[in-house]
Amino acid sequence: MNIEHSTSNIECSMKTSPMRRSFNIRCSMLNVRCSSLLLLALLVGCHPNQPVPAPSPQPPAMSKSAPAREPLKMMQKGGASVTSTVQSTAEQGNNGLRVEFYLLALPEGTISRNEKFWKRVDEHSLDPATYDLLYRNGVRVGEAPIAEWEYFRQVMEQYPAITKATSLVAVDAKPIEVPMRKDVAAQEICYFDSSNRLEGRSYYGAENIVALTFQQAPRRLNTMRVALCPVVRSVRKRLELSPLNKEQEITFTYPERLYDVNLRADVPVDSFLVIGPSEEASWRSSIGHNFFVTQGAAERMENVLLIVPKGIRIDELPKK
């Protein structure tokens, strides 16, 4: 009996073992799927949120009624400049400038050694460096008020050897050449430059000229800008080879501008500019002696240049 019972138990256990094995496999697969889903859920839940980039702002649409800001600012700046120019022109109206310059020939020493004459002239109107440089080179410069014109007129009446010229002053500078010495066979000119160095050279067959330019001073009503530069126009020669390989001498005229001793000054219409020789012009090789002292028939003469600006109206000019 015991043997049969045990056999039946074995058979039962053998019959039921495949079902249990299948059930265990299914449960294992279910557990694996649940674990995978749980792990995936944990991974998704723990992942940090990615920041969503904001959309880039679109440029504002251009319309006819609302222009962009930057061009508007540029137009405002340019408009202010044009407005100031127009306003300056409107303030000036039809006003212009005319310059009258007089070249006086006086006996030597009448001006250069006459302190009474120079007391009527403001020699501090120029900057000190320019005044000192010109004075050491034999040239004396200053501004005289128009109220002193009567005194200068009396001087001109006393010495009637006067050259007078008139020129209209335009916006652009126009050069005018005033001859001071002509047909100089030979001369030596020495001068100090702005660095106080002495320079010089010899000239042959020369003509000494004062080059002048006049123009309205920028942004200053009723004021004339005067620029002056001594010029030596001399005859020079050079040798050249002809096509036949022969030497030939070429003669030409060469103007040399002495820019180191030039002058620029703004002169208002209520005054005039006086340019003459200083005491240093007694040196034969100085700028003052070679440009403002001439050889007369019986005596040496001094040259004095008066530059007088005058205000005019454009509509008063004679029509051509």
pTM tops 0.85, yes or no: no
Question: What would the mean pLDDT of 18-38 be, rounded to a whole number?
Answer: 51
Of 69 and 43, more confident: 43
Instruction: Please report which confidence band the pLDDT of residue 60 belongs to, taking 50, 70 and 90 as the band edges.
Output: very low
Rounded CA Rg of the chain: 49
User: Given a cut of 50, is residue 174 above it in pLDDT?
Assistant: yes
- The average confidence (pLDDT) of the chain is 75
Structure tokens belonging to residue 188:
């030596």
pLDDT one-digit tens code per residue, 177-211: 889 999 899 999 999 998 989 999 999 999 999 99
Q: What is the pLDDT of residue 187?
A: 93
How much is the pLDDT for 312?
A: 77
pLDDT in the model for residue 252:
78
Specify whether the CB–CB gap between 256 and 231 falls below 8 A: yes
* Nearest CA among 261, 237, 306 for reference residue 135: 261
CB atoms within 10 A of CB 59: 7
Q: Please, which residues bridge with residue 164 across strands?
A: 102
> Where in the chain are the domains?
94-314
Q: What is the pLDDT of residue 264?
A: 93
Q: Record the tokens describing residue 260, joined without a space.
A: 């180191």
Q: 297 Cβ partners below 8 Å, 6+ apart?
A: none
Share of the chain above pLDDT 90, in %: 36
Least confident of 2-6, 194-198, 253-257, 314-318: 2-6
Q: What was the pLDDT predicted at 62?
A: 45
pLDDT at 298: 87
Residue 176 sits at φ, ψ, to 5 deg, of -130, 130
Q: Is it the case that residue 33 has pLDDT exceeding 60? A: no
* Mean pLDDT for the stretch of residues 48-56: 50
Work out the end-to-end distance of the chain between its first and last CA atoms, rounded to an integer number of angstroms.
161
How confident is the model at residue 314, as a pLDDT? 61
The pLDDT tens digits of the residues spanning 84-131 come to 333 333 345 556 788 888 898 888 888 888 888 999 999 998 899 999
Point out the least confidently predicted range of 60-69, 153-162, 265-274.
Answer: 60-69
Q: Flag whether pLDDT at 138 surpasses 90.
A: yes
**Does the pLDDT value for residue 319 go beyond 90?**
no
pLDDT at residue 9 above 50? no
Q: Is 13 exposed, middle or buried (0-12, 13-18, 19+ CB in 10 A)?
A: exposed
Residues in a beta bridge with 133: none
